[in-house]
Each structure stands twice: as structure tokens, then as C-alpha cells.
Amino acid sequence: MAVRIATALVGGYAAAAALATLAARLLPIGRAEATSWAMILSFAVYGSVALWALHERRLARVMLVVWGSALVAGSLAYLLGVRP
């Protein structure tokens, strides 16, 4: 249970932060507005991921989805670089 809670809290935060960074980079609006919208949406993503991680029966699936999404979104945001 401790691994599931740690994945929900830490992994959920990592996934939400990475997805927010990627969304802020990809949204076709101004830099400040894109960052604001992405951060607002990250709270919903974090809550949803944490609740789902505690609800799902299979720990392996939880870890794969949460850490995988954090890794993929973070890598894409890194590869896209700073917004011009």
C-alpha cells in the first residue's frame, strides 16, 4: 500500500507537472495565458491521477501509466524546448 500511495502522490505530481509543461508549450495562445491554463488544468489532472491510482486494482498498471505518462510528457516537453 505504501508504494501505491507514493506513486499516487509523487508520481501523480510528476505526471501533472510534466503534462502541464507540455500543454503550456503546445497551446496556441500567448505564453502567460498558456502557462496559466496549463497550471489550472494540472490541479484536475493531479487529483484525477491520485484518485485513479488508489482505485485501480493492479499496482503494475498504476505504476506503468503514472510514471510512463510523466516520462513521456517530460521527454516531449524537453525535446520541444523553450517556446519561441
Domain ranges of the chain: 2-80
Handedness of CA 6, 70, 36, 50 (dihedral sign): negative
pLDDT tens track for 16-66? 999 999 999 999 898 899 999 999 999 999 999 999 999 999 999 999 999
Other beta carbons within 10 angstroms of residue 46's beta carbon come to 20
- For the residues of 8-40, what is the DSSP string, one character each? IIIIHHHHHHHHHHHHHHH-SS-HHHHHHHHHH
More confident residue, 82 or 13: 13
pTM for the full predicted model: 0.87
